[in-house]
Homo-oligomer: A and B are copies of this chain.
């Protein structure tokens, strides 16, 4: 096992009707900015429920945080929060709204140009407004981690940052809030969580059996529960299990003490920044091609994945690895998430454009061995056409 630090102070309140407990979690005298996305928070009544739970507190609503939240939009929130002396941020939505709130939290007290928060990867953050979240979509794990990904439209750039200052103080996880989601978002959430787990699991063995078994348990649960979420959209238990998997998939636990490989995410980010693909769509496209391309360095873990996650025990090594990659692709497709660039009307020109972006963003040493250079990324992208 590798040495590690694990720290995660986010208080999770999980279950139906947990939103009513907001009053106990938000300081009584807080001036609260509630950040949310589009109409759905209003239409579903979640926003009204939140406002009711906040009682007499001063509340400023900030609507319109996009999927793949943008620097441009969020800087409007930063300005308002500064003017209104907001001292607590409440994100109501999925990972995009929460990521956005984390940026606003760090940017409000930041005295330099806030884009530098992204350029420093978060290292420049010395303080942040406190954040709470009301999660409506299980996917990114942002509700229980210190990371955020922000897009700057004007630069076609999508960059991550991390800081312990932006851990949510609390997150309310009410699985029934995900009943009203469109099927596409539910499917995307399953794929997103699945790939988060894979990026912390499918590397090389370091004798970390607990981390392996936890990752495998999460993957198996997604494989079981993901299709049920689409076929039985009102099943509370299914949504509860998916929500808890997605949170545990990226709260630091399964990645502690093991190597990690975020190359699929980093290449995928460029596809979203350039062509607007959903985050999960980019992952579904890149991961199978990445597994194929990296089958030699990842051989040992691919065989373990084949056996323990997909119960593939027959055939020689090559056949088992082939089958595991095929099953992974079929799983994404079965959820309605397409796994080829051509499914999104992208061709060789997109490969060239993504490679150019990767070069510009310094993404030339990806993966657990930092050996995924542009030549390998090219092969991955071409295999995903």
Tell me whether A18 and B1 are in contact (CB under 8 A): no
Which one of A6, A10, A18 has the highest number of Cβ atoms from chain B below 10 Å of its Cβ? A6
Alpha-carbon distance between A12 and B256 when the two chains are bound, in angstroms = 10
B14, A4: Cβ atoms closer than 8 Å = yes
**Nearest CB in chain B to that of A209: its residue:** B221
Q: How far is the CB of A167 from chain B (nearest CB, A)?
A: 10
Which residues of B sit under 8 angstroms from A253, Cβ to Cβ? 253
A72 contacts chain B at the CB level, 8 A cutoff: no
Decide: A210 near B245, CB < 8 A? Known: A9-B9, A14-B256, A217-B217.
yes
Q: How many copies of this chain sit in the oligomeric assembly?
A: 2
Given A11-B6, A14-B257, A225 and B241 contact (CB-CB distance below 8 Å):
no
User: Is A64 in contact with chain B by the CB < 8 A criterion?
Assistant: no
A16 adjacent to chain B (CB < 8 Å): yes
Nearest chain B residue, comparing its CB with the CB of A212: B217
- Residue of chain B at shortest CB distance from A170: B7
A381 within 8 A of B: no
Q: Measured between alpha carbons, how far is A10 from B7 in the docked complex, in Å?
A: 7
Specify which chain B residues have a CB less than 8 angstroms from the CB of A13 in the assembled complex: 5
Residue contact A237 to B207, C-beta cutoff 8 Å: yes
Indicate whether A12 sits within 8 Å of B18 (C-beta atoms), given known contacts A210-B218, A213-B213: no
- Whether A241 contacts B11 by the Cβ 8 Å rule is no
Interface residues of A in 315-358 (CB under 8 A from B): none
Given A4-B15, A5-B12, A6-B14, 6 further pairs, Cβ under 8 A: A6-B12, A7-B12, A208-B241, A209-B220, A210-B218, A244-B257
